[in-house]
């Protein structure tokens, strides 16, 4: 049995689920922050939010596809589970790091905006 093909399939399913779930969550909850940046201009907010979602999907799906080329040969079920877990863990770590980076950027921009309004 070729465990690599099975590993690719399982990893692809898990990855797609995580990427889509997190993307929808960010898309719906992040709209409020984008709306404040654009001073309640809903048309600009929705367009920007949709473009960010597409960029998010493309970035993460591209990363997941690249992971297939770096996959080592899987000999048994134990190695299969270990390799899927490590690849999935790295993906989740990257998503978390990007999220915290984005939140830091939002914080810094909002502080700069508040300072310019108060002065």
- pLDDT tens track of the chain, all 119 residues? 789 999 999 999 999 999 999 999 999 998 888 888 888 889 988 999 999 999 999 999 999 899 888 889 999 999 999 999 999 999 999 889 988 888 888 788 777 766 766 66
Residue ranges of domains in the chain: 3-114
Cα(111)–Cα(12) distance, integer angstroms: 39
Q: What is the DSSP string of 14-63?
A: HHHHHHHHHHHHHHHHHHHHHHHHTTT-HHHHHHHHHHHHHHHHHHHHHH
Residue 84: in which H helix or E strand, if any? helix 77-118
Token pair belonging to 8 = 């690719």
| pTM greater than the 0.75 cutoff | yes
The predicted pLDDT at position 114 comes to 66
Give the model's pLDDT for residue 99: 85
In this structure, what token pair is assigned to residue 34?
A: 């984008």
Spatial separation of the C-alpha atoms in residues 55 and 50, rounded to whole Å: 9
């Amino acid at each position: 049995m070729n465990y690599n093909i099975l590993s690719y399939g399982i990893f692809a399913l898990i990855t797609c689920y995580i990427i889509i779930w997190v993307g929808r969550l960010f898309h719906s909850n992040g709209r409020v922050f984008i709306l404040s940046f654009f001073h309640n201009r809903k048309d600009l907010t929705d367009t920007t939010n949709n473009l960010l979602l597409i960029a998010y999907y493309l970035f993460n799906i591209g990363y997941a596809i690249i992971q297939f080329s770096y996959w080592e040969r899987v000999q048994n079920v134990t190695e299969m589970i270990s390799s899927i877990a490590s690849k999935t863990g790295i993906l989740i770590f990257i998503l978390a790091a990007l999220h915290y980076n984005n939140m830091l950027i939002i914080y810094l921009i909002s502080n700069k905006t508040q300072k310019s309004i108060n002065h």
